[in-house]
Amino acid sequence: MNYWLSTRTKRRTFLVGAGALAGLAIASQARPVVAQSRFSAYPFSLGVASGDPLPDGVVLWTRLAPDPLNGGGMPSVNVPIQWQVATDENMRQVVLRGTAIATPEFAHSVRVVVSGLQPGRWYWYQFKVANEFSPIGRTRTAPALGSPVDQLNFAFASCQDWQNGFFPAFRRMAEEDLDFVVHLGDYIYEYGPDPNGPRQHNGPEIVSLTDYRNRHALYKTDPSLQAVHAAFPWIVTWDDHEVENNYADEIPEENQSRQAFIQRRVAAYQAYYEHMPLRSFARPVGPDMQLYRRFSFGNLAEINVLDTRQYRTDQPCGDGLAPRCPEASNPAATMTGTEQERWLFDGLSQSGSRWNVIAQQTMLAQYNFDPRPGSSGAFNLDQWDGYVAARDRLFNFLQQRKPANPVVITGDIHSSWVHDLKADFNNPNSATIGTEFVGTSISSDFPAQFIAPVAAALPGNPHTKFFDGAFRGYVRCNLNGDRWQSDYRVVSTILEPDAPISTLASFVVENGQPGAQRA
């Protein structure tokens, strides 16, 4: 019997003992813990989430926010929240339970780092505060390290500009049969309101911690987004718009001093940490946050999650669409920073997985948007095309060490692409050393007038097997020991929250044969 549901009607007070207080966040030890008994409105307005699946546990997340768009609406006190993990969807077979403390320092968000679970199985979880119950979420642990795994199913997504449309893609993703979801960034956008969109941002361009919290809260009020969080564990990384368009390390896009921008980055990183089901090592320290990390799924797949914003050097040739400048070949220009690059190469060297996934933000493959003879070309210089020496280092590594089946998954560009990764992109006869799947946006715009010119450049980029700019959606991946299949799932419109989904195209990679073929 569900302990909580059976006691729901009784009046309850929560007495929190010293044991619960021991887990309190460092900054708030002196603050009294208050057993809140009433809220101005339902406190679980932002739903629940889970993430960072390991074989023995996951991270559970929620945030108390009875007034989500106005700072949360919680008094400045610590509040105990009870949580439970069960092996059934009705929360009858509870296997773990405990109390966490929601503190004002973290906007009354809660992360419960659960361990002691069984590998490769589903669990359900729920939070309770006073007489209020959260929705029940479902999550799944990763298979045991190195164990044989028949197949994996996951989806990856990116770029969900609230103002450009609804999230029918998330609504449909929640109905898929997946083990987990990977989000590749632009989870929020920082812009002020656009009166022409089907729905508007809450207030002007965001700068302060309160601004970023209210913006994350706005996005998390979306029922389709909540449904996907409640259905699967997520593995998240960010791109630029979680802070500011096209920023690089401590360098803003425009109109801000470096000092003011660092303060803005502190606020943005803090709010991101508060709203994502990340492990505690990601807790920001000043303007720094540890986000790159690695996940293993038995012997079948290893996912290297990159952060290509925090440690970047400034775009060597600017961040537009233009010919390359000589600085793109400067070996000091980096997307990942030296330390993360070494970590990536070390991990790929040691991996025994069948598929080695690099989950990252901007397009890795070269794409010349102006391949006409005599032209000096046009490249997207915020992507790896602006950091050629860094890409060459990665490709040289892949050619020398040959980790099994490298597959890169990418967001950022609001359109669908499939690329063969070439030892030399300018020589179609050079070796194919990996495969890149670029997913379209959940809702962010790809201007219609760009579609024809991009398509016209395809013959000049023979390593690019597929491009579509018309549709929004996500990519669903099914992998087993023999092959990887990517299905480009797209919705008919983003002007209706419940638009239907269909598969626009499917591509496969055979084990041991880098490069994609149409299914």
Among 159, 333, 335, 357, binds Fe ion (CB under 5 A): 159
Site for Ca ion in 396-415 (CB under 5 A): 412
Judged by CB, which is closer to Ca ion: 82, or 440? Answer: 440
Tokens of 73: 């609406």
Closer to Fe ion by CB, 353 or 383: give it: 383
Q: Which is nearest to 293 in space by CA: 53, 6, 510, 49?
A: 53
Least distance from Ca ion to the Cβ atom of residue 308, Å: 10
* Of 116-124, 183-191, 218-226, 507-515: span binding Fe ion (CB under 5 A): 183-191
Distance CA 55, CA 115 (A): 9
Tokens 């003992």 correspond to: 17
Question: What angle, 0 to 180 degrees and rounded to 10, lies between the N-to-C axes of helices 223-231 and 209-220?
Answer: 80
The DSSP secondary-structure symbol of 320 reads S
Q: Kindly tell me which of 243 and 398 has the beta carbon lying closer to Fe ion.
A: 243
Alpha-carbon distance of 385 to 454, in angstroms, equals 16
Q: Which is nearer to Fe ion, 161 or 436 (CB)?
A: 161
Interacting span for Fe ion (CB under 5 A) from 64-72, 113-121, 157-165, 213-221: 157-165
The option from Fe ion, Ca ion, none interacting with 52 (CB < 5 to 8 A, set by class) reads none
Q: In angstroms, rounded to a whole number, what is the distance separating the alpha carbons of residues 14 and 228?
A: 31
Distance of CA 438 to the CA centre of its chain: 14
Rg (CA), the chain: 23
* Nearest residue (CB) to Ca ion, 272 versus 507: 272
- Per the listing, tokens 């991996």 go with 351
Nearest distance, CB of residue 241 and Ca ion, angstroms: 6
Which does residue 132 bind out of Fe ion, Ca ion, none, counting CB within 5 to 8 angstroms by kind? none
Q: Please say which residue, 142 or 363, places its beta carbon nearer to Ca ion.
A: 363
Query: In angstroms, what is the minimal distance from the CB of 109 to Fe ion?
Result: 24
Q: Does the protein bind Fe ion through residue 186 (CB under 5 A)?
A: yes
Residue 49 vs 188, nearer CB to Fe ion? 188
* Calpha distance 415→505 (Å, rounded): 13
- Helices and strands per DSSP (H, E), number in the chain: 9, 24
Binding to Fe ion by CB under 5 A, coded x per residue (else -) over 435-454, reads: ---------x----------
- Name the binder of 214 from Ca ion, Fe ion, none, CB < 5-8 A by kind: none
With CB under 5 to 8 Å by kind, the binding choice for 444 among Ca ion, Fe ion, none is Fe ion
Bridge partners of 201, per DSSP, are none
What's the min distance (Å) between Cβ of 363 and Fe ion? 12
| Residues of this chain, 412-451, that bind Ca ion according to CB under 5 A | 412
CB of 246 to Ca ion, least distance (A): 7
- Determine phi and psi for 226, rounding to 5 degrees: -60, -40
Shorter beta-carbon distance to Fe ion: residue 99 or 444: 444
- The residues in 231-260 that bind Ca ion, with binding defined as CB under 5 A, are 239-240
What is the residue type of 44?
A: F
* Beta strand pairing call for 180-183 and 234-236: parallel
* Two structure tokens written together for 47: 């739903």
- C-alpha 310/C-alpha 308 separation (Å) is 6
Interface residues with Ca ion (CB under 5 A) are 186, 239-240, 412
Interface residues with Fe ion (CB under 5 A) are 159, 186, 444
